[in-house]
Structure 1
Amino acid sequence: MKKRLLYINIVSLFVIVIFSILLGYRYYFNIDMTEAGIYSLSPATKNLLKNLKDQITVKIIFSKDIPSPYNTNIRYALDLLKDYRRISSGKIILDIAPMESEDALRDAAHIYGIPAVQLNAIENDQIQIKRVYMGIAFVHAEQIETIPVIDDISNLEYQISSVIKSLLSKGKKRIAFITGDGERPLNRLREALRKTYEIKTVDLKDEDIDADIAIIAGPKKSLSDSKLLKIDQFILKGGKALFLIDRIDANPQYGFGKKIDTGIEKLLAHYGVTIEPELIYDLSAGMINVSQRRGGFIFTTVVPYPFFP
């Protein structure tokens, strides 16, 4: 009886394994068991893919023998793109360039503007330089957008989704960065947004806000009533505004901060938003470099981010 039960259990387990393998061939899926869901597509990306009207061909141009650790990035990118294809219900078409033929791979890379990169590889206990391709091209109608090199996967989903959105956009939304009162330039943010949006700089002293979105980032001076009126009128007409307002001007070098009154506080209070002139004390804040002059010399020391009085 025990032998028969053991036999039945073994057969059942065998059937389950075979069924799982066949199911895996029929349906591609993966399970993300990380706490933060780092291997799952974001809701915004899923919404973008489910609402695709047109097909986009993704030309995958990867060399066959990409050395570690970059080969791990490539495997992740392929899995990610398969998720894009699955959720888009076939609107995302994956076209993998032939890895076996170096000539065909080089021709495809030339057509789609994917550069070759040189990586260090250890072969036969020696460090060698390998010339490889590890880029992606997105094709929609006559438009081509690329991610030339996949060397960092931390924001790869954002890059891919931004390219898809850019290809399908019939007209770029306009973002105006307000300037003239000591605002932060936010150059890196501008460059990141430029792929998807039309970026412009607006000085409210000379012109109105002719854009879809206005960004007011950390002005250090008080805005005039005429400038505040222009911002208010922009919002009342349906414009969107992002306010990045500092109420304290913190000086790490001298360890103190002073209150900032920009005038925007009154405008935001009219909309029911209050920004108090206070600080948040982070006990686990990072270290910063602080330069101080001592006896005619400038010394730079690394200190915890200070709690400004």
Structure 2
Amino acid sequence: MKKFIEYLKSPKSDIFLFLIAILLLNLVCSRAFFRIDLTGPKSYSLSESSRQVVKNLEQPLSVKVFFTKNLPAPYNTIDQYIRDLLVEYKSAANSNFTAEFFDMDKEENQKIARNYGISQVQIQELKNNEVGFKQVWMALAVSYADRTEIIDGLSSASGLEYTLTQTMSRLISTTSALAGLEGQAKLTLYLTRELEKFNINGLKNLEKTVMQAYKKVNSENMDRIDFETVDPPQEQILELSQKYGIQSLNWKNGETTGTGVLGLVLEYGQDFRLLNVKMARSFFGNVISGTENLEEELSENLKSLVSKPNLIGYVKGHRELEYTGNQQNGADVFNSIISDRYQFKDLNLKEEEIPSGLKSLVINGAKDKFEDSELYKIDQFLMRGGNLIIFDDQFEEVYPQGQNLYYQLPQYQPIDNGLDKILSKYGLSVGKDYVMDENCYVNQDQRSGSTPLYFAPVLQKSGLSKTSPITKNLGYVIMLQNSSINPEEAAKNPETSLTVLAKSSPDSWVLKDNVTAIPQMIRKPSDKSTMESQTLAVLVEGKFESAFDKNPEEANNGDFNFSNHFPKSIQSGKIFLTGSSKITTSQVMDSSGNQPVAMFVRNVVDYMNGETDLCTMRTKGLSLNTLKTKKGISAEFAKYFNQFGLALLVALCGLVTLAKISAKKRAIRERYNPDDKREIKKEAKK
């Protein structure tokens, strides 16, 4: 024992004590551990959106894992990734979250899986130098309340967090619009009682009608809404009208004048929705409108306010791209990639108003001119805090008719849809041109060889915004037949912020005369000094000024006047603008939504609907550093440097480090122990 103690005290025991320390540290870390994610897009960390989904679960949510053990590569890492991911969910969730793993070698567990509608999938397996096939279990069952959804065919860990979070969110929102809500929503009817003196059709029963709708919606949503009617004092009327945009009314009764308000506001936290209850004129006089479908409207606004908006307005009536029934030239693929979370709602602005529950409005490739009344509805939607997603074409491909159709080339005719009337007021303009870029997609054909498509710019990371969640994790994006955008005036507005999402390379130019997208008819400019980067997509956020001084259809009506016009935004809105609708078609976008341009468009939709975290979650691991060089000696050098150069650099750094360490040891020995000949003898032997 004495010798052992002396051994521990001697320098020889250092390695022994070090091994004991490592063993104890491993035992501690097996019970309590932490991870640091050093990747730029946080590829191995749970996103904030995922944390919020499970943070305030009101009912039990369970994830059942049906996964075969000891799978061959590349499937063998998926099981562990799922386990690590569910540990992250568990740490972020409350006590209502559970995860259960089933041993699929047991027959009773296989029966449970089949009861959920899960079946085995076939994978390839390399065994004894032979390729065979194996039937395995690779699925999850997610249950919330009385609903269950299956995630099967998990052949890759890519995008699993996004898929799992989306599934959980969909189950929760389907069960209750107010799932995870902290506190109460508040419904307020602002009504000046003095209006009851006037013969306004529907005003007498207005409070009763609102109360009936409130009780029905409130009972369906766990009594999480408070309601009151407020008769505001005169000194607060102007403030309320400016804050919420509720209708202000002015009247003259004999020698006296008065001012009042009428409006129904739904609030939660700092956000609110103004319902469409207001005074209107009819053939029979003044009437209260907006109460016909009040229950449905209240329910939709509630979902939009406290949950995630599902409906997106899609403007029709101006030969916009159809999103159903035209897979080749329509926006079917656009509809497909967002359909897991959103649904388009057709809107003919000539005949109907924009529902108050909508958060975003899409204008996709409009070719016919908007009337002023339609533009006014779009403008006022933005003033109320709505978001505009605009794919604005400036040219239409027109093919000739007749027998010689096959041999004729299309003509590119300018489009005047009238959107510039409101866009210019917001500081944006779209050029009557096509942007060409030397850094473009190159078509490979056996007959014609390599043909550069200058009208299809390939935007590298340097051409994408590094700060916006929409683009910061994308490695590249392919655009198509884009017109240039001038956002200079928008950049000057102190109440809005401008983000240039996408720009072409410095080797770009614009076609203004004889615009075409026929490769053989496009020539590069002889003077390279005329080339410069062009803006292709922008995002403007904040408060805007209306493009209209008043409602074009508004008129005075004797002694009783009212206005629904918002001269300025009452809530912050967003405008996304790009000069092409082609990126929403199958010409550049895949139906699976995995290509960068599909990610770009989907991220735009999510961002405009407040789903910022989904943008980064979906694009984890997509931030690739693609080569800018495509041919010649530089491309060959880059190829071989990536294959062998990096390894040689690492080896060289190791040799240099080793040489420095040896030199330092020799200098220390010569200075402090010059009589020690052991190292010298060893070196002499060598």
TM-score of the two chains, using structure 1 as the length reference: 0.78
Is structure 2 residue 43 aligned with structure 1 residue 38?
yes
- The corresponding residue for 2:453 is 305
Structure 1 position 235 matched with structure 2 position 382:
yes
Question: Cα–Cα, structure 1 residues 191 and 122, in superposed 2: closer, same or farther, change >3 Å?
Answer: same
Q: Equivalent residue for 1:265?
A: 420
Q: 1:66 to 1:248 in 2, by over 3 A?
A: farther
Instruction: Please tell me whether the aligned partners of residues 67 and 104 of structure 2 are also in contact (alpha carbons under 8 angstroms).
Output: yes
1:140 aligns with 2:140: no
For 1:219, the aligned partner's letter is A
User: 2:133 aligns to what SS in structure 1?
Assistant: strand
Going from structure 1 to structure 2, the CA distance change for 1:166 and 1:22 (only over 3 Å counts) comes to: same
Name the counterpart of 2:428.
274
Tell me the SS of whatever aligns to 2:10: helix
Query: What whole-Å deviation, never above 9, does each CA across 1:42-98 have from its counterpart, x for those lacking one?
Result: 333334343444441011111224332223333323322222222225543111122
* Cα shift readout 1:209-252 (whole Å, capped 9, x = no counterpart): 3352322233344333233223223334444332333456699x
Correspondence for 2:167 among 151, 163, 167: 163
Contact 1:74/1:150, CA 8 A, preserved across alignment: no
Cα distance in 1, alignment partners of residues 348 and 450 from structure 2: 37
Instruction: Read off the aligned partner of 1:100 and give its amino acid letter.
Output: D
Equivalences for 1:165-184 in 2 at 5 Å?
165-169=169-173, 170-171=176-177, 173-184=310-321
Aligned to 1:244: 391
* Contact 2:366 2:393 survives alignment (8 Å): yes
Structure 1 equivalent of residue 441 of structure 2: 286
Correspondence 1:88-107 to 2 at 5 A: 88-101=93-106, 103-107=107-111
Once the two structures are TM-superposed, the CA of residue 140 in structure 1 deviates from its matched residue by 0.5
Task: Say whether the 8 Å CA contact 1:182–1:221 is kept in structure 2.
Answer: yes
Work out which of the residue numbers 114, 124, 134 in structure 1 matches 2:128: 124
Equivalent position of 2:296 in the other structure: none
What is the correspondence of 1:58-97 to structure 2 with a 5 Å cutoff?
A: 58-97=63-102
1:255, 1:306 within 8 Å by CA — same for their partners in 2? no
Q: Secondary structure at the match of 2:62?
A: strand
CA distance in 1, matches of 2:439, 2:81: 32
- Cα gap change, 1:3/1:27 in structure 2, threshold over 3 Å: closer, same or farther? closer
Q: Compare 254-263 and 21-30 and name the one that shifted more.
A: 254-263
Give the corresponding residue for 1:294. none
Cα distance in 2 for partners of 1:45, 1:256 equals 49
Q: Distance in 2 between matches of 1:108 and 1:192?
A: 32
TM-score normalized by the length of structure 2: 0.38
**Structure 1 vs Structure 2 CA RMSD:** 3.6
> Measured at CA, do residues 187 and 301 of structure 1 come closer, stay the same or move farther in structure 2, by a change above 3 Å?
farther
Shift of 1:5: 3.9
Match of 2:362 among 215, 222, 225: 215
Give, as a single letter, the amino acid of the residue that structure 1 aligns with 2:422: L
Give, as a single letter, the amino acid of the residue that structure 2 aligns with 1:304.
Answer: P
Contact 1:61-1:96 within 8 A present in 2 as well = yes
* Cα pair distance change 1:137/1:14, threshold 3 Å: same
- Shift of residue 117, structure 1, vs aligned partner: 1.4
Identify if the C-alpha distance between structure 1 residues 145 and 127 changes in structure 2 by more than 3 Å, giving closer, same or farther.
same
2:17 matched to 1:11?
A: yes
Q: Which amino acid aligns with 2:47?
A: S
Aligned to 1:228, the other structure's residue is in SS state: helix
Q: Which runs of 5+ in 1 are unaligned?
A: 291-298
Q: Distance in 2 between matches of 1:145 and 1:256?
A: 50
Compared CA separation, residues 196 and 258, structure 1 to 2 (3 A)? same
Mark the CA change 1:66 to 1:2 in structure 2 (over 3 Å): closer, same or farther: closer
CA distance in 2, matches of 1:289, 1:232: 45
Instruction: Provide the rounded CA distance (Å) in 1 between the counterparts of 2:440 and 2:126.
Output: 39
In structure 2, C-alpha distance between the alignment counterparts of 1:249 and 1:3, rounded to whole Å: 87
Match of 2:158 among 147, 154, 157: 154
Partner amino acid, structure 1, of 2:10? R
What CA distance in whole angstroms lies between the structure 2 residues aligned with 1:259 and 1:242? 21
What's the secondary structure of 2:91's corresponding residue?
helix
Q: Which amino acid aligns with 1:175?
A: I
Greater gyration radius: 2
- 1:296 maps to none
- Cα distance in 2 for residues equivalent to 1:250 and 1:288: 21
Q: Residue 114 and residue 223 in structure 1: after superposition, are their counterparts in 2 closer, same or farther (change >3 A)?
A: farther
Instruction: Structure 2 unaligned segments of length 5 or more: list them.
Output: 1-6, 178-302, 304-309, 324-330, 399-408, 456-509, 512-686
Counterpart code for 2:452: P
Q: Deviations over 1:149-177 (max 9, x none)?
A: 21343322221111111111124632222
For the 8 Å contact 1:289–1:303, the answer to whether it is kept is: yes
Percent identity of paired positions between Structure 1 and Structure 2: 28
Deviation string for 1:177-228 (max 9, x for gaps)? 2233343434344334333334433333443333523222333443332332
Instruction: Give the residue type in structure 1 aligned to 2:378.
Output: I
Distance in structure 1 (CA, Å) of the matches to 2:335 and 2:313: 10
Partner of 2:339: 194
Query: 1:130–1:268: structure 2 CA closer, same or farther, 3 Å change rule?
Result: same
Q: Would you say the 8 A contact 1:61–1:108 is kept in 2?
A: no
Q: Is the 8 A contact 2:59 2:145 kept in 1?
A: no
Rounded Cα–Cα distance in structure 1 between residues aligned with 2:415 and 2:96: 51
Per the alignment, in what secondary structure is the counterpart of residue 305 of structure 1? strand
1:108 pairs with one of 108, 112, 124: 112
Give the number of equivalent residue pairs: 297
